[in-house]
Structure formats: C-alpha cells, structure tokens
Chain A
C-alpha cells in the first residue's frame, strides 16, 4: 500500500515532465526545414503548389503554431500519433510493430548488466586492492571505454564471420518458417550479440557503482555492529551489506533507462534489428518527422514506465522511503 502510493505519486509527478518534453519537441520541430508534406511530395515525385497547399490543409498544417500544438496534444491524448507519409501507415501502428525487439533487447541487456555488474562488483569489493579487484576493475574500465557499435562489429567478425557460431544480424530467420520452441531459440540466438553489445557499458557502470557502494556500506556503523555480534563475514555481506549496497544501483537503472534506449538506436542499426531505435534512425534519414516525434513520445513513456517499476522496487527495498515523503 505504502509502496503503491509512493509509486503512483511519482508517476503523477512525471506527467508535467512528459508535457514539457512534448511541447519542447513540437516547438523544436518548427525549426525543421520542410514538413511532412514536403517529404511526402518528394516521395511521390513532386507536384504543384496548389496540391501542396491542399495537403497542408488536410494535415492541419495551415493553422497557427499554438493551434497546431493544441491539436497535436489533443490527438496524443487519444493515442493518435498521426500518419506516417513514408510508411503509408498510422505512426502508432509502425511503432507498435517495432516495439517488441527493442523491449526484448533492453530487458535482456539490463538483466545481463545488472546480474554480472552485481556479482563482479561484490567480488571486487571483497578482495579490494588485491588481484581479483585489480582484474575486475581494469576490465570494467576497458568495457566502459569500448564504443558499443565497434564492439558489435568486432563480435560479428569473430562469432559470425570466422567462427560462424551466431547470426550476424536480424531478429529471426524468416526463410525457415520456424515455429514454437525453435522460433524462440532462433530469436534468442539472434539476440545474444546485440545483448552483449548494448549491455557491456552498463555492466561496466554497474560493477563500478556496486564496488564503490559495497566499500562505502562496509565502512558503516551497523556493519561493525554485525561483526560485533559474531556473524561470519559471508553472513555480514549477504544479510547486512548487500541490500544496502544495492540501493544506488537500483536508482541508477531508472536514471539510465533513457541512455540505454538511446544506445539501442546504434546497436539495432549494427545488427539490423527491426526495432524502435532503427526506426528512429530511418526516420531521421528519411526526414519522417511525424514518426520521429511519435518515437520520442513512446520512448518517454517507456522511460517513465521503467522508472515507475524502479520506484516500486526501491520502495520495497528501503522501508525508510515513506509515502509521505
């Protein structure tokens, strides 16, 4: 109950943020040279000015900026994201088709980075300044410094071209018409390299935070109390230190949800995954601003949802967070 109230309050507080983003993006797009109609006309091979004028009226582009903004927000409220001239479909449909690979990729990368970041961070902190710590910390630095798209390309060279263990790209093998378990395994095989590629930098960040946080918590008074109680070092870490040390890491997941979504733009383009990120890239190249705006809206919703989940998680972990604060 306390947890739910807290999370709902945070959710409500993110509504102004969402509005701010939408208004900001809408105004930003007014600076863009050319509009949807220009893009559409280029697509169909040109037309005369009168036709363009009619199209603009049809899309409501002849109204003032304030009126357009109001119309846009009203349409968003009914989840109408407009029409993509390039794809010839409603933007919402285009985005919905592209959402599953991205969500799958993010969930997989996050789990990978969180789990290994946690384990490696704990191991490094327990052996601080000895060789396992040095090794893990150095690896963390290198992972952090590796550009994800480059790591992806090199992984393709090694695992797909030379070793031929894993597919080089795509979401699934459509030529074989797989179903059931086989299809799941196929998708999983396609997602291994993208997951590693996207998760690598977050693994590095999480392990560094976890190590620092463990060291910090290990120096706190209540750990001394736990030791004075005669608990074994393993129990001290497992029962007293771990949960406290995880709090900053959980916060970080929420803060970096946006960064991760941004990273998937690059990774999906490296591995030719038909996801939201690749769609964003394509709409920039094709100047499909309607779709781009839709993607921004959906991304913001996604990030807000992730933060909602993170808030619930955090409140469950930490009883000091009360609904009244």
Chain B
C-alpha cells in the first residue's frame, strides 16, 4: 500500500506509465486501427509524411503504410519484451537463488555457467542461436530470454547471499523449517524488490536486442517490427530518412517508458536511495 502510494507520487513513474500505456493501446488496438495486413502493399512507395492524408506517416520503399507497421510493431515489441523478460527473470532467479542460498559447490558450478554466458558477448550469442535455430519470432524471443538472464542471476545471488545469513532466516532454520520454506517464504520475498526493478532494465535490453536483430534483417521477416522498418529505410537513408527516423522514435519512447517505470518502481520499493544500480 505504502509502496503503491510512493509509486503514484513519483513523477517519472507517472510519465513512464503514460508512455507505456500509449504503446500498449497502440499494440492492442492495432487490429482495430489498421485491420489490413500491415506488410501488404498500401499505396505508392516513398510518400513523405503529410503528403498523402491516407498515410499520415508516409509509406516505405515497398509502398507499405508506415503508421500501420508502427501500430502492429508495438504489439511485437511489447510481446517480445514481456515474454523474453519473463524467461530471463525466471532463469535468473532460479539460478541466483540456488547459487546464493546453497553456496559452496552448487554456487561455484552455477556461477561458472553464468560467467560463461557473461563472457560471451550477448549479441554474438544471439546471432549464433538465430543462425542455428532459425529466426521465427518464437525462437528469437526465447533466444533473447536465454542471453539476458546472467545479470538477474548475479543480482538475485547477491541478495540471497546477504539475506541467507540474516537472523530471521537462521531463526527459521532453528525452528526446523525446510529449505523450500526458507527460499520461497523467507528469502525470496525480501530479495525480490531489486530484481523487479532490474526486470525493467532486462525488458529495455530485450526490446533493443530484438530491434537490432530485425535491423540486420535477421529476425522474423513475416512480422511487422520497428527494427525491420529501420533496416529497410537504410537503403533510402540519404533522401527519405523519415522511413528510418519514425520507427526509431517509437523504440526510443518505448524504452524511455520502460526505464521511467523502472525508476518509479525503484523509488517506491527502495525508498532510501533513489537512482538504482
């Protein structure tokens, strides 16, 4: 309750929520605003925004409506961001919790794996995964989830390491409670706030990774994606730069919204030190 009030009071949370809500409305309502296939031919190619009232944001080199792609792209970005974040947060919490709680050999083994993932440039690993398993939207989403969990694991582990020696956890041990109770009921709820805040960073990174992949034309070509559109606009950059510029602004605003919400969560959940890690 207190946290909710603090969240509502934070101006960054407010701005962020408004932006994210707008993107959400765009994505959810895309089918309703632009019922036609956004990747189908809509009109003459490369019309500047405002040139034709039918296409307020213009058309791309293939004559497709940019506004329609923007709306449908919002859905893809949010969906990928949300699902990939859930995957990576779940893996990260599981690995971090086990490593931090049990320590010793379990910790060493799990942290070696985490380090291996972190030593490997995440975008490079993403490229390898896509090169091997193909670039349908499902594989791309799962691959992004797989490459972005190590920081979550490290953060969760660090929280568990300090919390597991706290007196209240020791008291539960002495009371004869099992490890499952200690991990799930005692330590995890106290470790979660910073992880939740960090999930916003993971989500921002996930959306950026997908758009970068799509920009390189390595993501699913059958799905309208902001990054894809920026990549297409590259060929006509010198004259018709708006094709790349418009979806870029959409990505920027979405990430901004996610970050601001994360900052608001941080202000609300960790009241002492605003700013975050």
A contact set with B: CB distance below 8 Å: 14, 16-18, 20-21, 24-25, 28-29, 31-33, 141-142, 144-151, 153-154, 156-157, 161, 208-209, 211-212, 215-216, 248, 255, 258-263, 265-266, 269, 280-281, 284-285, 287, 289, 292, 295-296, 299-300, 303-304, 307
Contact = CB atoms under 8 A, between A and B. Distances in A.
- Interface secondary structure of B, over-half rule: helix
A21 B273 CA distance: 37
B122 A259 contact: yes
B137 interface: no
Given A149-B230, A208-B275, A17 B116 contact: yes
B222 interface: no
Interface of B: 112-113, 115-116, 118-133, 151, 204, 208, 211-212, 215-216, 218, 227, 230, 233-234, 237-238, 241, 244-245, 247-248, 251-256, 259-260, 263, 273, 275-277
A142 B121 CA distance: 24
Contacts of B251: 145, 147, 150
12 contacts: A14-B115, A31-B133, A145-B251, A147-B208, A147-B211, A150-B244, A258-B121, A259-B123, A262-B123, A269-B216, A292-B128, A295-B124
A73 B251 CA distance: 42
Contacts of A281: 127, 216
A28 B116 CA distance: 14
A283 to B, nearest CB: 8
A142 B125 CA distance: 27
A65 B72 CA distance: 44
A212 B116 CA distance: 28
A280 B130 CA distance: 12
B122 A153 contact: no
Contacts of B275: 208, 211-212, 215
Nearest to B12: A141
A292 B126 CA distance: 12
Contact of B212 (A141, A266, A292): A266
A123 to B, nearest CB: 14
A136 to B, nearest CB: 12
Contact of A157 (B212, B241, B263, B273): B241
Nearest to B16: A141
